[in-house]
Structure 1
């Protein structure tokens, strides 16, 4: 097995692009020595806030090796969110790069003031150490930790404000979350001959469970992607022929030209596409499945949360994706809970008593993988923990066959409909490059925010797209680039509501967001 990088790692001055397992282990040891030389010690919090790449994982492993607790922060977080999280954890060491360290927050103060020490991977920052100055020192002995000790912090998406910091222990992350994925279950998991391409925010817990599966199942080649530009991805895919591609919605949207009519053969060998972090629009699923020349390509879509790991899974075939546009679709099905790993139930949001099959309610999950808390915010954790059950904050329906379908987040749910379902229908009947967010309001029909390539909307096409959909307000049309999103591509509905519906409340109360 070897690892092919889309660009050199920021922790590697030598600029290597191809690595094997011994090389990766060597980077963890040398980086652990660098963090120790920079002043990190057992029990210290080491904040990793850098440009997204695979070396985020190696920095976390290096911090864990010396007994420190890595705090993994996405380089795409807004400056004020980063500052709020750093104040919460009070890190001993902040590891970052010059561009991010020079970003100004509303407080006007330097980011370096929020940690005892700062390590700039590319140097050039006043009051910060440079990586080249701390490399090459002696390697400290590993510091083991117990299964129930705090190992790592990662953050939630922050769609409704400042993200929460989730507390992971070895038992939860390694012992539970990664357990199912590390089993040999073709075609769900990797085989020895697979070429796996991964696009991911490498600071997220999903990256850690994924790397455990890679190290356990040993696919032939792993393509570690830090960018989604088709001009970069296309040549790499044509050279290495991936058979499994996992990416965020924002990555698939960016790579769409590779699946177009003049796509060449970059995706010809893909047998499994895996969508993570948020549901993909059906039009995109169809496009990528049709771009594969495999005899039976599938789209694997998982349902889960950062606090719980995977809760369900569904597989979409090329036949189903192509047929769906001609049918009257229902709510998005996210699959059945994994037997022996997860239990799901749907309850009344007021009494928390189970509702009859087919009736909507709050989705509760029970899993041994549930994490141990929100760092510095126990009250927010207690709001969502219902004994052994976890309140997902989603409104769903359990079918007679035991499958879960999702309607909406509770904060956006208006009884009698599903904005997520209606968005799927509308986008599926609009041209490429369009997206829609429906904002329900307490009194009146949902308000559509329509993002188009140039900020204009063909009203005839719009009327055709919403035919059969319950009544909507007049659409608000914006340019696609102006649709606010998180770093993983989720639409920031609260930002839209603030911008276009100032003073209009939610249909739900939002206690469990």
Structure 2
């Protein structure tokens, strides 16, 4: 019984199992995997299984054994998933770190994880801190995937090593560590077991429920941070539902995306808000529009502006395109879902005021309640409070930070740190993160309205300040703002401070494209107090 359970959920054996079941899907890549010496841009499930077995031999030859931690910190691509599977296959615990993390955050996480092996690339391994140290000093051994780096092992010298026997993880054992977004500081390392990650988080989306899940004739394109837990639940669902074609994208550069989408028109796209922002120029240009075949857009990780949703739904030539908008957290998986139609999206934000509805709880799987931030007692429907969730998919802890976990885990309930409203019909409306919430208003809603009335490629982050109006940080392509356009955009809105204008590329972001508001506060507000406590970020 134990072996059968291990075979079912452990990511290290997952690709072998799917290959043996005869899965014959083809995956097209926007560039070859960094672990592939042949440089293929088309692979199948059997290739993935072979990659995992070969990489498990490499890791084993590099000294990794069951129970060791293997940190993966490299350029974003699907091989992050395969490296994690290879580590898990021999009983090691992959520690997945976004290649976009700032150096101070990476070093803090590596100190916490104490990896036996760090798998990275030349670009990241050769960066020096002010004291001259490199990341190699934070692991017993370092393995470089591309070029040679002093004091680091190379992938080439171990390629072809003997494949070790699998040592799969039990359903309740620690299988993987991934990190939170880190919008307010050093990210936390989330602890996942096979039962939580694959057995619960991936379970709901593995059902054939057209039109909200993949159909057999779909061509699916995904833009994703492949170190995130979402990548592992996603690949589980894809290989269960078997759409006709999958495009694995590592880059949302329009010049990369356009030719690939021309050749392989997608019918479903899942991407981060930052990816949609980069691709918006293609959707707005009728000559370059490659989204006409899309029937469903899906967004994860953060709120998407209403104007962006409208742009892409209008770019589709499908009769009834929809936008699937999910609400959840890394620690819990999906908590709710809603759908936005083209007709709804074409209403201006000022014609449909109010905070964004993020969906209803998953029936029989998730419960939501809204409580008073001081007493944790439930508040009546329609009143704002802290959003608490109860789900079987909740992860098992924060690695070596039990005190931060205990701040958010209240019995079986999970404190999301979000301020929201529960309606009489059970829908959840999201106002703000508690740390940035101003009573009586929603900064998220105001940001949405402002962006809807500003030119393309403008972004807005409102920073709440105790005793004063929120401070807008406005990011523009050239670092300049048309003040008359700003005046019109703010007409009829609650009072805002004078905007701080920066270039679009100057905005500090997390590995998933979220704005690091605390970093903006540190840069521009000179220690101004915020109204929220920040206890649950």
Distance of aligned partners of 1:243 and 1:136 in 2 relative to their CA distance in 1, 3 Å threshold: same
Match of 2:386 in 1: 362
Which stretches in structure 2 are left out of the alignment for 5+ residues? 1-24
Task: Say whether the 8 Å CA contact 1:80–1:106 is kept in structure 2.
Answer: no
Q: Does residue 134 in structure 1 map to residue 158 in structure 2?
A: yes
CA contact (8 A) 1:303 1:313 kept: yes
Does residue 193 (structure 1) correspond to residue 217 (structure 2)? The answer is yes
Match of 1:351 in 2: 375
Please give the alpha-carbon distance, in whole angstroms, between the structure 2 residues aligned to 1:323 and 1:83: 46
In structure 2, the residue matched to 1:307 is 331
- 1:485 is aligned to 2:506: no
Give distance in 2, aligned partners of 1:365 and 1:104: 42
Q: Is the 8 A contact 2:258 2:288 kept in 1?
A: no
Contact 1:79 1:104 in 2 (8 A): no
Provide Cα deviations, 1:66-89, integer angstroms capped at 9, x if missing partner. Answer: 110000001101111111111111
Q: How does 1:104-143 map to 2 (within 5 A)?
A: 104-143=128-167
User: Residues 107 and 383 of structure 1: is their aligned pair in 2 closer, same or farther, counting only changes over 3 Å?
Assistant: farther
What corresponds to 2:363 in structure 1? Answer: 339
Deviations 1:392-420 (A, max 9, x none): 00000001111000111001111111111
Query: Counterpart in 2 of 1:503?
Result: 527
Q: Distance in 2 between matches of 1:275 and 1:328?
A: 21
Equivalent residue in structure 2 for 1:318, among 338, 342, 349: 342
Please tell me whether residue 51 in structure 1 is matched to residue 75 in structure 2.
yes
Q: How far off is 1:326 after superposition?
A: 5.5
Which residue does the alignment assign to 1:159? 183
SS of equivalent residue, structure 1 residue 254 = helix
Contact 1:156 1:166 in 2 (8 A): yes
* C-alpha distance after superposition, 1:273-331 (max 9, x if no partner): 11111011111111111111111111111000000000011101111000234614210
Q: Shift of residue 107 of structure 1? A: 4.2
Counterpart Cα distance in 1 of 2:71 and 2:132: 20
| Residues 119-170 of structure 1: per-residue CA shift (max 9 Å, x gap) | 1001310111110100101111111221100000000011111110000000
Q: Pick the aligned partner of 1:90 from 103, 109, 114.
A: 114
After the TM superposition, which residues 60-79 of structure 1 pair with which residues of structure 2 at under 5 Å, given as runs?
A: 60-79=84-103
Verify the 8 A CA contact 2:350 2:449 in the aligned structure 1.
Answer: no
1:265 positional shift: 4.4
* Counterpart residue number, 2:9: none
Per-residue CA deviation, residues 55-108 of structure 1 (Å, 9 max, x unaligned), is 000000000101100000011011111111111111111100111101123443
**In structure 1, what is the equivalent of residue 16 of structure 2?**
none
Q: Specify the SS of the correspondent of 2:227.
A: coil
Q: When the two structures are superposed, what TM-score results if normalisation uses the length of structure 2?
A: 0.94
Pair 1:404-2:428 in alignment: yes
DSSP 3-state at the match of 1:139: coil
Q: C-alpha separation between the residues in 1 aligned to 2:428 and 2:473? A: 27
User: 1:249: how far off?
Assistant: 1.1
**Structure 1 length normalisation: TM-score?**
0.99
Residue in structure 2 matched with residue 283 of structure 1 by the alignment? 307
CA contact (8 A) 1:150 1:168 kept: yes
Secondary structure, aligned partner of 2:430: strand
Cα distance change, pair 265–450 in 1 and its aligned pair in 2 (3 A): closer
Query: Whole-Å Cα distance in 1 between the matches of residues 350 and 417 of structure 2?
Result: 31
Distance 1:20 1:474 in 2: 54
Q: Which residue of 1 aligns with 2:265?
A: 241
Aligned partners of 1:2 and 1:19 also within 8 Å: yes
SS where residue 368 of structure 2 aligns? strand
Shifted more, 477-486 versus 58-67: the winner is 477-486
Give the number of aligned pairs: 513
CA RMSD of aligned residues (A): 1.0
User: Which residue matches 1:295?
Assistant: 319
For the pair 1:5 / 2:29, whether they are aligned, the reply is yes
- Distance in 2, Cα, partners of 1:105 & 1:372: 33
> Which of residues 401, 404, 407 in structure 2 aligns to 1:380?
404
Q: Secondary structure at the match of 1:72?
A: strand
**Distance (whole Å) between structure 1 residues aligned to residue 350 and residue 294 of structure 2:** 26
CA distance in 1, matches of 2:251, 2:129: 25
2-side partners of 1:264 and 1:85: how far apart? 42
Q: How far off its partner does 1:451 sit?
A: 1.3
Distance across 2 between alignment mates of 1:107 and 1:373: 33
CA distance in 2: counterparts of 1:98 and 1:454, whole angstroms: 32
Looking at structure 2, the residues matched to 123 and 68 of structure 1 have their Cα atoms a distance apart, in angstroms, of 25
- Cα deviation for residue 264 of structure 1 reads 3.5
Matched, 1:444 2:444: no
Residue of structure 2 in register with 1:422 after alignment: 446
Describe the superposition over 1:413-444 as per-residue Cα deviations: whole angstroms up to 9, x where unpaired.
11111111111111101111111111111111
Aligned to 1:206: 230
How far off its partner does 1:375 sit? 0.3
Q: Is the 8 A contact 2:191 2:396 kept in 1?
A: yes
Segments of structure 1 that go 5 or more residues without pairing to the other structure are none
Q: Tell me, what secondary structure is at the counterpart of 1:440?
A: strand
**Which residue is equivalent to 1:251?**
275
